[in-house]
Chains A and B, each alone.
Chain A
Amino acid sequence: MIKIRGLKKRFGTNEVLKGIDLDVKKGEVLSVIGASGSGKSTLLYCINGLEPIQDGYIEVDDTRVHDRNTNVNLLRQKLGMVFQQWNSFPHLTALENVALAPRIVRKKSKREAQEIAKKQLSHVGLGDKLDAYPNSLSGGQQQRLAIARALAMEPEYMLFDEATSALDPELVGEVLDTMRLLADEGMTMICVTHEMGFAKDVSDRVAYFHQGILEEVGPPSQIFGNPTSEHTKKFLSKTR
C-alpha cells in the first residue's frame, strides 16, 4: 500500500503540492487527472523518490521513501515507472533494453535476464521485435518497450506519467490497451492521464488535482457522474 500524508513539494518558492493525503491499496488502479501544472506528475516523481519533498511523508509498504536510511534504489525496484517520453536506451536492442536492469540491478545472469526480457516483451506484444533498435520502432512500440522494461523488474506498483501524451493519436490505443491488460492482471497502478475514457473505464478510483490540492477523489461514477467540487465540474466540462 502507498500511503501519502501531508505531502508538500516546492520548486523554489512555487508550491506545487500543498499537503496531499492519499492512500493507494494493493491491486487498485488510481487515475490522476487535472490541468497541466496541477502537480499530478510531480506526485509520481515524489512517490518514486526522484524528487525530494519539503513536508509530510510517503510510505510504500511501510517504508518511508524520503527517509535518510531508506535504500531508494532497492525501493524503486518495487515501483515501475513509465514516463511521457519513453526514453528507450538508443544503443541497446529491445531485448537488451529490457534485460539491462534485471542483469545489473537484480544481478540476474545474462541468460536469466534475457528470459525475463523475452517474457515481458511478448507480454506487451513486442515478441517479434527482440533484436530491433529503438530508432526502428514507432512511438507506441517504444512506449510499450518502456512498459516491458519497467515490468522486467517485477514491480509491485506501476506509475504512469502521461504515458500517452507524447504519442501520435493513432498510437495511443495500443499503449492504453497494454495498460488495460496490466490492470486486468491485478497490477497496482497510479496513472496520471488526460485520457478520460481510460480513467472512467479502467480505474477503481479517480483523483482530481487542482492547483496542488487533491480536490476530489472517488470512484469514476462519482467523479464523472456526480462530482461534488465546483472545480472538478468545471474541469470536466472543459475536457468533454
Chain B
Amino acid sequence: MEQVFFTGLQWSDAWFLVEAAQKSLWISVLSISVGTVLGIIFGWVLHEGRWIAAGTLGTVLDAFRSIPLIIQLVLFFNFFPIIGFPLDPFQAGTIVLALYTSALVANVARGGIESVGEPMQRAARSLGMSYWQNLRHVVWPIGLRSVLPSWIGVVLGVVKDSALVSVLGYVELLRASQILITRTQEPFAILAIVGVFYFLISFPIGRIGKRLEGKWSS
C-alpha cells in the first residue's frame, strides 16, 4: 500500500490556523502592552537624562533596536538555560519582543514628551501644578496625541515581527503555515491565507489609530 505523505487542505486546518492566529495575536498584545509601558518609562528616563542611567539605558536600548530581532530571539532563548532558567518559546519570545518594543517606544515616548515644550510646561507649573500633575494632565495628553501615529507604526511592526518567534518553535501563524505547507505542498494558498490573517489583525489597529487622530485633531 502506498503511504500518503502529502494530503490536501482540510477544514480542520482552518482551525489550526485560527488557533495559530490567536497565538500570534496574544503574543503581540502581551509584548506590545508590556513593551509600551516599559517604553514610556524608559522614554521618560531618557528625557530627564540627568542620571548616568540615561546614558547606559540609551546604549542598551540602541542595542535592542539595532540587533536583528531574530538574533536576539535565538541568543536569549539559548542563554537562559545556561544560567539555569530554561524558558519555553512563548516566554522567551514574549520577553524579547517586549524589550524590543520598549526600545522602539522609548524613543517615541521621548519625542512625545519633548514635543510639549518648555513654555507649555512652565505655564502648567505656574498654575501650581506639581511635576507629576504637569506630566499627567499636560505632557501626557498632548504628547500622546503628537506621537500616536508613530506608536501605531511601532505596533504594526511588532505584530509582523512576532512571526520571528517561529524560529524558537512557537506555533504562531508563520510556524503553523510552514507545518501546513510541508504537509500539503500548497504554499501559495496557505501563505495567502496567512497573509489575510495578518491583515485582519493589523487593519483594525490602523483604523482605530486613524479614527483617534481624526477625533483629536478636530
Contacts and interface: CB of A to CB of B under 8 A. Distances in A.
B145 interface: yes
Interface stretch (B50-58, B94-102, B104-112, B133-141): B133-141
A105 B129 contact: yes
B193 interface: no
B120 A150 contact: no
A61 to B, nearest CB: 15
Interface stretch (A87-95, A116-124, A182-190, A205-213): A87-95
A124 to B, nearest CB: 16
Interface in B106-159: 119-120, 122-130, 133, 137-138, 141-142, 145
A161 B111 CA distance: 28
Contact of B126 (A76, A89, A90): A76
Contacts of B125: 50, 73, 76
Report, as a range, how many residues of chain A touch the other chain: 20 to 34
A7 interface: no
A178 interface: no
B119 A83 contact: yes
A165 to B, nearest CB: 13
Contacts of B216: 91
B127 to A, nearest CB: 4
A106 B128 CA distance: 9
A25 to B, nearest CB: 22
Contact of A89 (B119, B128, B130, B142): B142
Interface in A78-102: 79-81, 83, 85, 87, 89-91, 100-101
A114 interface: no
Given A50-B122, A104-B133, A104-B137, A149 B142 contact: no
Given A91-B141, A91-B142, A83 B123 contact: yes
A26 to B, nearest CB: 20
A153 B142 contact: no
Count class of interface residues, chain B: 10 to 19
A149 B128 CA distance: 12
A42 interface: no
A87 B125 CA distance: 12
A31 interface: no
B128 A77 contact: yes
A101 B127 contact: yes
A76 B127 contact: yes
A48 interface: yes
A87 B120 CA distance: 5
A146 interface: yes
A30 to B, nearest CB: 18
A146 B129 contact: no
A140 to B, nearest CB: 17
Interface string B20-59: 0000000000000000000000000000000000000000
Contacts of B141: 91
B147 to A, nearest CB: 13
Contact of B129 (A73, A87, A150): A73
Given A77-B127, A105-B128, A105-B129, 6 more contacts: A85-B119, A87-B120, A101-B127, A104-B137, A153-B127, A153-B128
10 contacts: A50-B122, A50-B125, A73-B125, A73-B128, A77-B128, A83-B119, A87-B120, A91-B141, A91-B145, A100-B137
Interface of B: 119-120, 122-130, 133, 137-138, 141-142, 145, 216
The 10 closest A-B pairs by CB, nearest first: A87-B123, A101-B127, A81-B126, A77-B128, A76-B128, A105-B128, A87-B120, A91-B141, A73-B128, A85-B119
